[in-house]
Amino acid sequence: MTDGAKEKLSMREMLKLLLEIQEYDSKLLELEMRKSFFPDLLKQLKDEIENLEQELSQKKERLNEVKREIDSLELDLESEKNGLDASQKRLMKVSNNKEYDAVQTEIRTHENNIAEIEQRLIVLMDEQETLEREVADIQEKYDETSRVNKSRIDEIETNAAEIDGIIEKVRAERDHLASKVSRRLIRKYDMIRSGKQGVAVVPIVDRACGGCRQALPPQRIQEISAGKLVICENCGRIIVDVEKLNKS
């Protein structure tokens, strides 16, 4: 439809349409604001799962490292005990003091190594026990958090999809109405609205602008009552007589 075709509507009729368009725009703004909270909320829910998953993975990795070290030390311990046993048996067969002293040194070395390994094993086994408890606790927390958060994520994503559907429908209805208004008036409306927190059209209230409460001169009031385009000289909004527009 061309601007010429649109001008078949009177200014009063187009102002009435602007009020309806503004209602749609307010609805769209409300829907977009509702949606704006979803990304941060989804990130928070996903981060909670991811952080627990990472913590669980790190604990399991450390637990596996401890188990591997324990297995390795137990082999070393067995080797040292076998060496000690062999040295003690050889001690019974030495034939001179020099060889006796050498074997005694071997025995002390094996005994010291055994003591160090056993002490290290005690520390590692304590850590293993602690890690196994922590892994079990974190696993339980992860399973519960994952269950609850994934359910919430699904709910939010469903709500977001529903809102997107509503937005699409509202925008189509809004654009249909806007197509009936002259492009010049729609551009003016959009420009005013963008700088006035979404409110471009306001009612006349007690002979004053409903947007800024600036008193209006009688001539302006008559023009508004006649359905003419009147812009508030103070706040720049379009002023209309809602009651008379609704009766037209």
**The predicted structure's pLDDT at residue 197:** 86
Chain mean pLDDT for the chain: 94
Where residue 248 falls among pLDDT bands split at 50, 70, 90?
low
For residue 75, what are its two tokens?
């082999």
Residue 208 backbone phi and psi in degrees, to 5: -135, 160
DSSP annotation of 234:
T
How far apart CA 83 and CA 114 sit, in angstroms, is 10
Task: Report in angstroms the alpha-carbon separations of 148 from 71, 152, 159, 179.
Answer: 39, 6, 17, 46
What mean pLDDT is predicted for residues 210-231? Answer: 95
The pLDDT tens digits for 170-204 are 999 999 999 999 999 999 999 999 988 889 999 99
Q: Is a pLDDT exceeding 70 seen at residue 7?
A: no
Helices (H), 37-96: 38-91
Q: Which residues contact 170 (CB under 8 A, 6 or more apart)?
A: 24, 27, 28, 31
For residue 153, what are its two tokens?
């994520």
Compute the residue count for the chain: 248
How far apart CA 22 and CA 44 sit, in angstroms, is 34
Q: Is a pLDDT exceeding 70 seen at residue 46?
A: yes
Q: Is a pLDDT exceeding 50 seen at residue 6?
A: no
Is 70:120 a contact under the CB 8 Å cutoff?
Answer: no
- What residues are paired with 205 via a beta bridge? 208
What mean pLDDT is predicted for residues 58-84? Answer: 98
Q: Compute CA 81 distance to the chain's CA centroid, rounded to the nearest angstrom.
A: 58
Q: Which percentage of the chain shows pLDDT scores above 90?
A: 92
Helix (H) or strand (E) holding 13: helix 11-36
Q: Is a pLDDT exceeding 50 seen at residue 111?
A: yes
DSSP annotation of 181:
S
Q: Which of 41, 37, 35 is nearest to 152 (CA)?
A: 41
Is 122:74 a contact under the CB 8 Å cutoff?
Answer: no
**The predicted structure's pLDDT at residue 3:** 46
Domains of the chain (ranges; CATH) run 3-29+181-247 (1.10.287.1490), 35-176 (1.10.287.1700)
Where residue 105 falls among pLDDT bands split at 50, 70, 90?
very high
For residue 217, what are its two tokens?
């001169």
The pLDDT tens digits for 138-165 are 999 999 999 999 999 999 999 999 999 9
**The predicted structure's pLDDT at residue 129:** 98
